[in-house]
A and B are shown apart, each in its own frame.
Chain A
């Protein structure tokens, strides 16, 4: 299994001289299981460049796993080149809602006046799925989705392939309801998805000083992500969903702080363009 980051920024695309090292595009990760399939985590602005990179090589079937439908995870979808190719079979998975279908919720953005074309008009063959309670297979990869604490229906994903595992909890505030320093793991949002993951990609939007004024917004501080990684027993932690107000230097300070707080595995900042080989 391989993965490549096409966007690691949170909330709002933030290009500019202060964000060059880690990138300004919002959430999008390309995952390539051993069987050569294409699974994409979220369709933030980073998915545009991913689509362009597939020029002529896109597989017929593509699966996009949406963590939730906030705009920074969805707004690139209309600019994903395979969406405009009638040969594409595009499966979109997202968090279930008890009141509205995934199609209805995505269409709220992909329709006028917010977008010029309606979802029903795109050339690709679209199939939309509520992420099921049970794990499911996409080619050689096993996918597990579980609801996690954020604002509105949100899931964390675990992808297992060829004996390796990737956990993706991009917008997540596990400390919202519990004290992570003392709680049993079974009472921690996202623990099941992240437990023992080879690579844990986790929200680290705030410093510990910033968090108190943003508690309940659905994101984590450096302390929270360190505590969560310890509870999960992750081997490698990649800090993700970088705050749009944080410069590259700010992000490196956050990363240093998480390394101080947790030494159970390696800690790095997710970086646009970064590739991970799980073999």
Chain B
């Protein structure tokens, strides 16, 4: 029935070149950025993002939703934000960039105020291949 044994790892699939290039862009930026694939899975965040999120990328091993839950985002009034209302989730839902301003409790325990822009990546007009979240820490409020 199935020739592949369950212990045999599935062959890797290739990432879309838009994601390959986005990851490369993020790796060369001083601006914090994370990259997700079309399913919303976290595929990379850069060193400036590691500093803000309080966790090295290599140790994250979590989905975007897990990461969002881990940093406990709250609005300016201190009310918890729903994951689906965060900028990147909104960008995926609407197909256009989305901006948000909120607080997180980073994995290292520090509370930080962020400005975040979520950007959907379309390889063609109708084909979402992933997304970016670019964020800035509002130093004057942290």
Give residues in A with beta carbon < 8 Å to B.
Answer: 96, 98, 133, 146-149, 176-178, 184-189, 191-192
Chain A residues positioned under 8 Å from B127 (CB to CB)? 133
Partner of A192, one of B13, B18, B21, B125: B13
The answer on a CB contact under 8 Å between B125 and A187 is: no
Number of A-B contacts (CB under 8 A): 39
In contact, A185 and B12 (Cβ under 8 angstroms): yes
Extra contacts, 10 of them, besides A147-B123, A149-B17 (Cβ < 8 A), are A146-B14, A147-B17, A149-B21, A177-B20, A177-B21, A177-B24, A178-B20, A186-B14, A187-B23, A192-B14
Given contacts A149-B20, A177-B20, A178-B20, A186 and B13 within 8 Å (CB-CB):
yes
Cβ of A188 and Cβ of B24 under 8 Å apart?
A: no
Cβ distance A223 to chain B, nearest Cβ, rounded Å:
18
Instruction: Check if A148 sits within 8 Å of B17, measured CB to CB.
Output: yes
Q: Which of B19-41 contact A (CB under 8 A)?
A: 20-21, 23-24
Is the CB–CB distance between B20 and A187 below 8 Å? Answer: yes
9 nearest A-B residue pairs (beta carbon): A177-B24, A192-B14, A186-B12, A189-B17, A191-B14, A177-B20, A147-B17, A98-B125, A186-B14
**A176 / chain B contacts, CB cutoff of 8 Å:** 24
Bound Cα distance from A185 to B10, whole angstroms: 13
26 contacts between A and B (CB under 8 A): A96-B124, A98-B122, A98-B124, A98-B125, A147-B16, A147-B18, A147-B123, A148-B17, A149-B17, A149-B20, A149-B21, A177-B20, A177-B21, A177-B24, A178-B20, A178-B24, A184-B12, A185-B12, A185-B14, A186-B12, A186-B14, A186-B15, A187-B15, A187-B20, A189-B17, A191-B14
Query: Interface centre among A133, A146, A147, A184, by most B CB within 10 Å?
Result: A147
Please report the C-alpha to C-alpha distance between residue A186 and residue B44 in the assembled complex, in whole angstroms: 14
| Chain A facing B: main interface SS | loop
**Residues of chain B at interface, number, CB under 8 A:** 16
Name B11's closest neighbour in chain A (CB-CB). Answer: A195
In the complex the two chains form, what is the Cα distance from A81 to B21 in whole Å? 40
**CB neighbours of B12 from chain A (8 A):** 184-186
Minimum CB distance partner of B43 in chain A: A187
Residue of B nearest to A177 (CB): B24
A187 to B16, CA, bound (A): 8
User: B4 → chain A, closest Cβ, in Å?
Assistant: 16
Nearest-Cβ distance from residue B67 to partner chain A, whole angstroms: 20
**Nearest chain A residue, comparing its CB with the CB of B16:** A147
Minimum distance in angstroms from A219 CB to a CB of chain B: 16
- Distance in angstroms between the alpha carbons of A177 and B125 in the assembled complex: 24
B-side contacts of A178, CB under 8 Å: 20, 24
Q: Once the chains bind, are B21 and A188 in contact (CB under 8 Å)? A: no
* A146, B20: Cα distance in complex, Å: 13
- Most A CB contacts (10 A, CB to CB) among B12, B16, B20 go to B20
Chain B residues lying within 8 Å of A177, measured Cβ to Cβ, are 20-21, 23-24
Q: In the complex, what residue of chain A is closest to B12 when comparing beta carbons?
A: A186
- A146 — nearest CB in chain B belongs to which residue? B14
CB under 8 Å from chain A, chain B span 109-142: 122-125, 127
Q: How far is the CB of B122 from chain A (nearest CB, A)?
A: 7
Q: How far is the CA of A75 from the CA of B15 in the complex (A)?
A: 32
Docked complex Cα distance between A96 and B124 (Å)? 8
